[in-house]
A = this chain, B = another copy of it.
């Protein structure tokens, strides 16, 4: 079930094409190039020749299958082990439909395995994609559609519905469905799983529409110590489930008393309501800076996949203790798993886990949150209940929470096992072993400049440039200092740290190890008389005195996560 998310690998075909002009020669060739080349071979060799071609070539290609499951941001990039094929954007010839046979749905259905061949249908046409299975960036997840329609799957990951993907598909066309079959199939197709998505704020900059992934303009971030929910970054892996608070149930497994089923009103009435202010950050925040070094797989987030909010709900600790968690369970459990109620067409839910100690310790402050910023958690953020794991990568704060499992094992979810992990810059899709790296939990120290914006101008007559930004660290480590430079890092100034909006009381200092909130910061720095350009840089330091690395390239990793090098913004000085 896990590999379902592979399908999302196709999401970034368009991204690759649109960015290709920016890619260096050493970048991964995009599918468009590769496919164009292959198609010209196939045309002359026919189906058998194609198969042979693959059999010969397969060991020489290394398909970027692993790790492509990571949501809509996954980039469909086939790494070529050998050969340097020139970049072309050759248009694929359209196969003549009239000469192709007509099939019934029954005939298609028989071709539902690699042994019998893998046929699929799309809009009344029939495709034999047997050869493509091994190349599918989403792995053999594609077999879910074997012997049937692609539509339900592509509806889930709308990124498939792009010209380029259709071009690939057209290569495999072998016939058409007869009209009755097509009609029957059409009527069975499910509704668009994204038809019930909530309305979103127009200011959001959309990275992916289905599933919805968007961040606010960076300049908005430092306007509010508490990020308004409507512009808080949205990072959905699947369609937003619309859940009825009356029928909502949260299941808890792995405790001595057996499975617990808890209603929303029970959750609210049975346990004290706790409120914490905590920052959530996507593992991919600032991925766009890594993409500039070398193409990575994932949504091209700017610096605003981070936000700070108040969260209210029951403490996970209280709930687990109430239902029997004690030394007996602690002795055999190491993790607490979470499962969302957002599911793909196979029923696979989004899932994640956190270490047991974080879940049950008083200092962990993990909530089963039903309020965000004083109101019901909005649909995009997990209504009616989400986990809120402060100090930890956003991916573990599972939304639309359906199940909690106290276990000796980490979540088996793709997002825990084969995504959201960090690797060396020397590790590529040929050599990566996801088992070799721990799942990201606590995030490293982070900061970024929200004002001024890259490429803008500052006026020399102002004498000073005001620089603003945010800083945060994982694991409850408080940000203790932000250094700012306007000469690219040669000299440094210490910024003022803010824990409230102007005119508001500053937040009280957090207990050690429980600093869950970011700090906004601000500084006015004199503009040197002869400066024509300023390279503004920031770096933060946390209570463990960890600091950010100077540059992006040495922390580059194939999934583009953990991008926390010094943030740099260049502005012109105008007179």
Show the binding face of A for B, using Cβ within 8 Å.
Answer: 355, 357-358, 361, 363, 422-427, 437-438, 440-445, 474-475, 477-478, 480-481, 483, 489, 491-494, 511-513, 539, 541, 543-551, 554-555, 562
A489 to chain B: which residues have CB within 8 Å? 554
List 10 additional A-B contacts (Cβ < 8 Å) besides A423-B481, A424-B493, A492-B554. Answer: A422-B541, A424-B483, A437-B480, A442-B543, A442-B544, A444-B546, A445-B546, A475-B475, A489-B554, A550-B550
- Which residue of the partner chain, among B422, B443, B483, B544, contacts A474 with CB atoms under 8 Å? B544
- Which residue of the partner chain, among B441, B442, B539, contacts A554 with CB atoms under 8 Å? B539
Contact B475 A544, beta carbon cutoff 8 Å: yes
A551 to B358, CA, bound (A): 34
A424 to B551, CA, bound (A): 18
Chain B residue nearest in CB terms to A335 = B512
So how many copies of this chain end up in the complex?
A: 2
Contact A543 B480, beta carbon cutoff 8 Å: no
Q: A481-B437, A545-B562 are in contact. Are A426 and B491 (CB under 8 A)?
A: yes
Chain B residue nearest in CB terms to A489 = B554
A491 to chain B: which residues have CB within 8 Å? 425-426
A339 to B440, CA, bound (A): 39
Q: Can you name 28 A-B pairs with beta carbons within 8 Å?
A: A355-B512, A357-B511, A357-B512, A422-B481, A423-B481, A424-B483, A425-B483, A425-B492, A426-B483, A426-B491, A426-B492, A426-B493, A427-B494, A438-B543, A440-B545, A441-B512, A442-B543, A444-B544, A445-B546, A475-B475, A475-B477, A483-B554, A489-B554, A492-B554, A547-B555, A548-B549, A550-B550, A550-B554
A493 to chain B: which residues have CB within 8 Å? 424, 426
- Shortest Cβ distance from residue A542 to the other chain B in the assembled complex, whole angstroms: 9
- Shortest Cβ distance from residue A468 to the other chain B in the assembled complex, whole angstroms: 18
A511 to B358, CA, bound (A): 12
- Shortest Cβ distance from residue A410 to the other chain B in the assembled complex, whole angstroms: 11
A478 to B361, CA, bound (A): 20
The 10 closest A-B pairs by CB, nearest first: A550-B550, A442-B544, A426-B492, A444-B546, A546-B546, A355-B512, A444-B545, A424-B494, A424-B483, A545-B562
